[in-house]
Amino acid sequence: MISALRTNLKPTILLVLSLLLSVFVPSTSAGSEPAGTTARAEFSADDFDWREMVPYLFAAAALPEEQGIKTMLENSRVLRAYIANEGRARCNEDKNPCDPKGDSSLLDAEVNKRIDEIVHEGISSQHKAAIVDYPLARQPFPFSEIAAVKDEKRSDAYFMLQFTDHSYTAWQLQAKYGAPYDTNIFDRYSVFTYRLDNPGYTSRATFEINPVDGTVMKVTVSLKRKKPKLR
């Protein structure tokens, strides 16, 4: 993917994308919610909306590395839903006295605690960028891996998800977001790119599509803060 994107991505973005893609292994199988709200247990690929992550990437881009990554992951509905599902599954498997439908505020606290652990235990530094990648191994779930990257020196932030096989199609993608801002075709995949551009930042979502069956394989959401114009 890196060589294919080299024609239309800047070197800095290529470097961070290479970090993200290097830790992802192949899968085997419009408003945002506040961080204190854990997503419902049932979660589909279409429930993910890359635009919901943009405010959190914008905030993360201005924060120190670990804090920025925590901001992105803590506000990811995908990760919150996955961790909540894990907690409910453990209640059922271990026959613990916990109530899978108990106090939502307690569940939110447990989810926040687990995300803190994921960031603290999993953060690493590669090529002047801080990164956390986390496998979503408990299946079925529409995603199989999640990652966040914060550039150590630039005001850039990156968020990535790998889709479970056949959980989402290019048709569903365009039905949700409309026609992409840009498209490209490479040897092993196609790329659909969507963009948000305003005076404070530029954000892009790059979806990687399997050309054989039209399923979405990965999405990378990037955001670069713009420097204020001098008057």
- Write the pLDDT tens digit of every residue in 43-65: 899 999 999 999 999 999 999 99
Contacts of residue 124, defined as CB under 8 A and 6 or more positions apart, other chains included, come to 130, 131, 132
Could you give the CA distance from residue 60 to residue 41 in angstroms, rounded to a whole number? 26
14 falls within a domain: yes
- Domain extent, residue 134, equals 2-225
36 falls within a domain: yes
165 falls within a domain: yes
pLDDT over threshold 90, residue 205: yes
Q: How many domains does the chain have?
A: 1
231 falls within a domain: no
φ, ψ dihedrals at 55, nearest 5°:
-60, -35
pTM over 0.85: no
90-110 core/surface letters (b: 16 or more CB in 10 A; e: else): ebeeeeeeeeeeeeeeebbeb
106 falls within a domain: yes
- Write the pLDDT tens digit of every residue in 101-140: 555 666 888 999 999 999 999 999 888 899 999 999 998 9
230 falls within a domain: no
